[in-house]
């Protein structure tokens, strides 16, 4: 294997860390094949990623900067098409990114996230009561019964998603991150998503509330741009808009950054925000619980006050980022990476956030070891870097810190059920445990 001979990324994420190590060893960037035969450059060294993530010559807009997408050589039939076909801040470039990010940032501030602490504490308490009542001293799957339930309730409440949509959305989101599905399955999932999203937006238009969905609908519907303000298209119609329509407004100046969202941009922004807020938090909570359960000496450091629960969260983010790879970025022009490697104009770029967390150049020779006292624990890229830094980082950290603290306070003798490695979700994007079986042990005495 060499830079001229690409290797295939494992669509099921069988051993993402070994794969990431191979990418790092090849140099600043190496050729890989994505599912569906799409060729890309993979970048696995932390310093190179940080440089690219703030480089204006790197775009996330496939409609403007990926020739294969523009020409139709790669299209909606690609199993991972939804990762580049959506039109929201995560796939936008330049002033378009500023325009699309602004309404979401205004609605989802760090203060609003911090204000959710009482509700997070309440939900965690309810879930722990349910665990204690239904499995006293027995084994439970903490992913299903705890890590999954907390962000589900918080994020779905935050977005005002009616309960009848919870089940369908869970199914859709799981398929969204399943990078081993066929093109036909992916297209059916996208169609199902359109139906659910159309129902959600219509429901919140009829019944607005103090939630993120209503806030974004207001930002779209009160726009002064007649095209976006009166566009009657449904979510399904908007998703199938032409590339020219989807990219309308591209290149607008800073004065247009507050312009309203089109219907497609509204829907796609909602997809991004609650999908990222749900799946990644589930994975993060599972990782933090798992690492402390299998490293009791690390848990002892926290209990002794030598490390904080926030330290646990950062080290969990470093060692197992909730999202391993970031799809996709594109070279606006040729980019010289050094060491004889040039990423050509229009070439796709795959960023390995998971590789950055275990880069020995940053974290030392023991980068594979979980250590809550590690000096570099916060030097990860798990929430991105630069203009695309995750808006939900504050909420994810808060949910995880509260969940892990309260769990070990309630079940101080909890232990993993059985030995051996646990199965992981079958994805090279989503990075988490498929299940987390734990014997709870006796519940701590309840204070009067």
For the chain, what is the domain count?
A: 1
Q: Is residue 424 part of a domain?
A: no
pLDDT score at 405: 98
Asked whether the predicted pLDDT for residue 229 surpasses 50, the reply is no
Q: Is residue 28 part of a domain?
A: yes
Q: Is residue 214 part of a domain?
A: yes
Q: What are phi and psi of 119, to 5 degrees?
A: -70, -40
Q: Rounded to an integer, what distance in angstroms lies between the CA atom of residue 380 and that of residue 352?
A: 11
Q: Rounded to an integer, what distance in angstroms lies between the CA atom of residue 239 and that of residue 257?
A: 22
Which residues belong to the active site?
Answer: 276, 279, 281, 390, 399
pLDDT score at 260: 66
In this predicted model, what pLDDT tens digit does every residue of 51-70 receive, in sequence order? 999 999 999 999 999 999 99
Asked whether the predicted pLDDT for residue 225 surpasses 60, the reply is no
Q: Is residue 11 part of a domain?
A: yes
Q: Which H helix or E strand runs over 206? A: helix 183-206
By the 10 Å C-beta count (0-12 exposed, 13-18 middle, 19+ buried), 73 is classed as exposed
Q: Is residue 22 part of a domain?
A: yes
Asked whether the predicted pLDDT for residue 295 surpasses 60, the reply is yes
* DSSP label at residue 338: E
| Average pLDDT of the residues in 141-165 | 91
Asked whether the predicted pLDDT for residue 33 surpasses 90, the reply is yes
| Average pLDDT of the residues in 292-316 | 98
Q: Rounded to an integer, what distance in angstroms lies between the CA atom of residue 221 and that of residue 225?
A: 10
pTM assigned to the model: 0.88
pLDDT score at 233: 31
Domain span at residue 93 reads: 7-406
pLDDT score at 440: 94
Domain of 266: which CATH number?
1.10.630.10
Q: Is residue 2 part of a domain?
A: no
In this predicted model, what pLDDT tens digit does every residue of 101-112 receive, in sequence order? 888 888 777 788
Query: Helix H segments across 249-389?
Result: 263-294, 296-303, 309-319, 353-357, 360-363
Q: Is residue 43 part of a domain?
A: yes
Q: Is residue 411 part of a domain?
A: no
């Amino acid at each position: 294997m060499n830079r001229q001979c690409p290797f295939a990324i494992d669509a099921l994420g069988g051993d993402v860390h070994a794969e990431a190590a191979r990418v790092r060893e090849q140099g600043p960037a190496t050729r890989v094949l994505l599912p569906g035969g799409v060729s890309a450059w993979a970048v696995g060294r932390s310093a190179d990623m940080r440089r690219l993530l703030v480089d204006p010559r790197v775009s996330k807009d496939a409609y403007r900067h990926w020739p294969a997408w523009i020409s139709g050589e790669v299209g909606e039939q690609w199993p991972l098409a939804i990762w580049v076909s959506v039109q929201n801040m995560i796939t936008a470039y330049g002033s378009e990114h500023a325009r699309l990010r602004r309404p979401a940032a205004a609605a989802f501030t760090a203060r609003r996230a911090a204000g959710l602490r009482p509700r997070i504490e309440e939900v965690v308490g309810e879930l722990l009561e349910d665990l204690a009542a239904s499995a006293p001293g027995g084994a439970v799957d903490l992913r299903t019964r705890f890590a999954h339930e907390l962000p589900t309730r918080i994020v779905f409440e935050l977005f005002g998603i009616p309960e009848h949509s919870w089940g369908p959305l869970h199914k859709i989101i799981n398929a969204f991150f399943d990078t081993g599905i066929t093109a036909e399955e992916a297209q059916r999932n996208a169609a199902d998503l359109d139906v659910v999203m159309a129902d959600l937006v219509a429901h919140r238009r009829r019944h607005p509330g103090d939630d993120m969905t209503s806030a974004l609908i207001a930002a779209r519907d009160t726009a002064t741009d007649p095209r976006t303000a009166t566009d009657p298209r449904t979510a399904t119609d908007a998703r199938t808009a032409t590339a020219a329509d989807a990219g309308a407004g591209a290149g607008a100046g800073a004065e247009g950054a507050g312009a309203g969202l089109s219907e497609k941009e509204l829907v796609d922004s909602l997809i991004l925000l609650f999908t990222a807020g749900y799946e990644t938090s589930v994975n993060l909570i599972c990782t933090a619980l798992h690492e402390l359960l299998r490293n009791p000496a690390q848990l002892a450091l926290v209990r002794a006050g030598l490390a904080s629960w926030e330290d646990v969260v950062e080290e969990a983010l470093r060692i197992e980022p909730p999202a391993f790879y970031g799809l996709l970025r594109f070279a606006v022009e040729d980019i010289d990476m050094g060491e004889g490697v040039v990423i050509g104009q229009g070439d796709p770029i795959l960023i390995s956030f998971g590789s950055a967390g275990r880069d020995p150049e940053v974290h030392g020779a023991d980068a594979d070891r979980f250590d809550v006292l590690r000096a570099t624990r916060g030097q990860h890229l798990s929430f991105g870097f630069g203009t695309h830094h995750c808006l939900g980082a504050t909420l994810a950290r808060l949910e995880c810190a509260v969940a892990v603290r309260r769990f070990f306070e309630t079940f101080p003798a909890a232990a993993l059920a059985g030995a051996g490695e646990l199965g992981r979700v079958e994805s090279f994007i989503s990075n988490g445990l498929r299940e987390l079986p734990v014997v709870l042990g006796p519940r701590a005495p309840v204070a009067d």
